[in-house]
Amino acid sequence: MKRLLIVDNLHPVFMELVGAAGYRCDYRPEITYNECLHVIGDYEGLLVRSKFYAGRELLDAAGKLEFIGRAGAGMDGIDVALAGERNIALLNAPEGNRDAVGEHALGMLLSLLNNLCTGNAGIRGGTWDREGNRGIELNGKTVGIVGYGYMGQCFAKKLSGLDVRVIAYDKYKSGFSDPFAEEVSMERLFAETDILSLHIPLTSETRQMVNRDYWNSFAKSIFFINTARGEVVDTAALLEAIASGKVRGAGLDVLEAERFPALQEQPWFKDLVNCGKILLSPHVAGWSHESFRRISEVLAAKVLALSAPRP
């Protein structure tokens, strides 16, 4: 019987599905990193979300480990290269939260364009400002998507029916045009985009990719949505782009630093929260009530597929 250590919250359906197939699950969402180091050597599988980094120290202690399952999409919380060297399979579940991310990105976009947060705050504060809260229609706009994996594809699909044109760039894919988006070069995306949405992982290549030069490459003033990873964006440069009018507004579900007090300690924090053209949410785009279960179902299926007999 193979043992799995679960160090973050997973839906009970995961334990039900893999338990029925003979796995023993130790569900310990309260476990600390040091406690995990002391016991991980007894396990063939590790299930994580974002609790701590699965790097060299942890993998050195995990002599029996056969796989790590990430209850989400991004794998930046795992030393992917080292895991590969040690033949540790890596599993994630972008299929489980793509709808949540797509809907959240669309909700942020519509809220920005229609000033829903400022209008709501104004009325509650005793101000009735119709002119200052006039909206901008999506109709006829070009939405540029960077990264056309599960999340980018789902966002494009959610936009269908809203009379927008969707273009997409993916450095690692080609020939992916579909009924929802047209594949374009980065040059065309810079030239034609009215609204930019990021759907890329955090890697050494993408970290701080969206900087001053990046914003200056766009031909138009744009709206910006980021539901990917905060560290992809240079926040100070984004604030400068908003101040100059290069970025007309931004919806950020992710930030370079997250949670308090770390967020409050950032030099750009006060400017961020005082900027009326930025809509913020606490890294929750992919974490809907429905995706909580769906992610666990997807992960369970992938764990079971690892042990399935091969033809």
Q: How far apart are CA 57 and CA 205, in angstroms?
A: 24
The secondary element (H helix, E strand) that includes residue 273 is helix 269-274
12 in Cβ contact with 34 (< 8 Å): no
The secondary element (H helix, E strand) that includes residue 186 is helix 186-192
Question: How many helices, marked H, and strands, marked E, lie in the chain?
Answer: 12, 12
Task: Give the rounded distance of the alpha carbon of 203 from its chain centre.
Answer: 13
User: What per-residue string of b and e applies to 47-79 under the rule 16 or more CB within 10 Å gives b?
Assistant: bbbeebebeeebbeebeebbbbbbbbbbbbbbb
146 in Cβ contact with 93 (< 8 Å): no
Catalytic residues: 229, 258, 283
User: What per-residue string of b and e applies to 186-225 under the rule 16 or more CB within 10 Å gives b?
Assistant: eeebbbbbbbbbbbbbbeeebeebbeeebbeebeeebbbb
